Amino acid sequence: MTAFSYAPSSRQIIASWRIGAPRRAEPVAGVPESCEEEGADLLVAALCGLSEAAWATYADIDESADPDETNTEQWHLREERADFDKARVLTIEPGERDRWPYSPLLSAAKRLGLVLDEIGDARLRIQIARAVDRELDAVVAADMGDFAGLAQQAVTLSRLSASPVQIQAAWAILERDLLGAHDVHEASVDPTAACVATTVWLRAAAIVATASDPGDPSPDRWTRAVARADDIEAMPIDTIAVVFRSLADGLSPRATVERLVRNAHRVAAGQMPGLDGLRDRLLGLDDLTEKVDQQTMSRILDEVRVCVLDPLRPAPSLLEALHTAIFGCFLLWRAEILVEDPVVDDCEDDQDLEEIEPDNDPRLREAFAAAVAAVAVRTDRMSL
């Protein structure tokens, strides 16, 4: 959500938002001299509450929920999205103090309107109304896949449902630069959707690294491969084992990602994961003992959580783990290829293997990416 704050020295309301690791900030309103600091503090608190409620209609909507089932959390979120115009009106005309709407969004808008009534400055009300318009418009834009301006903060959220359009956008980035794919992490695509595409490419990378038959899934071999890569560079073995196990159980990449993110949302809200998720978590840890050495397993158990993802940033943390595992597959493949069949046949001056710098040679990265792409393209992208 957008964070609003009051700068006493300039008497300005400042809006700031994350766009990945960096933040952006800009002034949105000037507080009149007649308004005391307490009033300004109430104003920014009301703005923050409205922003949080508005962005919940983006991040917490579960597209798999039955839209016809009434009075559920998902039903209320959909109702809130439909009430954006009512929220704009309440900011200007909050109505009676003793009548409060049930909706968190409308309550936040009414609270903001009442604070503005107390301050009683027409110019400030116009400026705040514009800020509210920008906030609500940004949520709608993000929902349509437009991450420009204020809507760019959507890429820091972990949406429960992955947008097919965003999955294809992430796929194109991975196809263009598998081992870099910086745009995937730098505020270009929705992270939940990016996780779906990256899961497909990780599976393909594991197939290439283990020389597996694409038609004969070998999740145990894939997990062991990532565990072997951990000897070269730290790998998120636990997270990747859960992903591979879910795929082995027949879940699609999209269902796998959405279930993991959904469980993390529950944990972040102080709830237990779904029973299926909790059972899978325990079984997965038990299975993992057969795939990694005792020292690695001891380290995993020391750090184990009830939910495999970071509950505060589930989709971004999963995306980082998936991309790290792809790089781990590259490390294994590179180690094998340098011993068995170095990609130096077309080198000028017949360079010897010893003259190659494997960490920096782009041909190895390109050859690996091409091999992975050859496997990944067999996936029906329209089914994601």
DSSP string for residues in 106-144: HHHHHHHHHHHHHHT-HHHHHHHHHHHHHHHHHHHHHHT
Predicted confidence at residue 68, as pLDDT, reads 65
Least confident of 12-26, 72-86, 129-143: 72-86
Residues 145 and 201 in one domain: no
Shared domain check, 265 and 236: yes
Question: What is the structure's pLDDT at 344?
Answer: 40
Same-domain check for residues 152 and 207: no
As a whole number of angstroms, the distance between CA 82 and CA 139 comes to 12
% of the chain exceeding 70 in pLDDT: 88
Residue 117: how many CB atoms within 10 A of its CB?
A: 12
Residues 320 and 190 in one domain: yes
Give the tokens for residue 25.
Answer: 């900030």
* Enclosing domain of residue 124: 3-156
Which residue has better confidence, 192 or 183? 192
Say whether both 188 and 333 belong to one domain.
Answer: yes
Q: pLDDT band at residue 8, thresholds of 50, 70 and 90? A: very high
Bridge partners for 3 per DSSP:
16
Q: How many domains does the chain have?
A: 2
Centre a 10 Å sphere on the Cβ of residue 124 and count the other Cβ atoms it contains: 20
Asked if 140 and 235 sit in the same domain, the reply is no
Considering the domain architecture, whether residues 192 and 135 belong to the same structural domain is answered as no
Place of tokens 């906030």: 135
Residue 33 has pLDDT above 50, yes or no: yes
On whether both 146 and 250 belong to a single domain, the answer is: no
Note the pLDDT of residue 37: 94
Mean pLDDT score of the chain, rounded to an integer?
85
The answer to whether residues 229 and 331 belong to one domain is yes
Q: What residues have CB less than 8 Å from 64, skipping those under 6 apart?
A: 161, 258
Q: Are residues 151 and 220 in the same domain?
A: no
CA gap 226, 313 in Å, rounded? 23
Note the pLDDT of residue 293.
75
Query: What pLDDT does residue 358 have?
Result: 53
What per-residue confidence (pLDDT) applies to 354? 43
Among 156, 185, 205, the domain-final residue is 156
Q: What was the pLDDT predicted at 92?
A: 93
**pLDDT at residue 148 is higher than 90:** no
Distance from C-alpha of 98 to C-alpha of 76, rounded to nearest angstrom: 22
Instruction: For residue 193, give both structure tokens.
Output: 């959707």
Helices (H), the chain: 37-59, 73-82, 84-92, 104-119, 122-143, 164-176, 182-185, 191-209, 219-229, 237-248, 253-268, 275-288, 294-302, 314-340, 362-376
Which residues make beta-bridge pairs with 23?
Answer: 18
186 shares its domain with 143: no
* Residues 209, 126 share a domain: no
The 10s digit of each residue's pLDDT in 78-132 is 788 888 999 999 999 998 888 888 889 999 999 999 999 999 999 999 999 999 9
Looking at 125, 156, 187, the residue that finishes a domain is 156
- Asked which of 21-30, 154-163, 375-384 is least confident by mean pLDDT, the reply is 375-384
Residue ending a domain, choose from 156, 184, 202:
156
Average pLDDT over residues 154-163: 89
Range 317-323 average pLDDT: 94
**Most confident by average pLDDT, 159-168, 182-191, 336-345:** 159-168
341 — pLDDT class (breaks 50, 70, 90): low
What is the 8-class DSSP label of residue 148?
Answer: -
Tokens for 190?
């929705």
Is pLDDT above 80 for 275? no
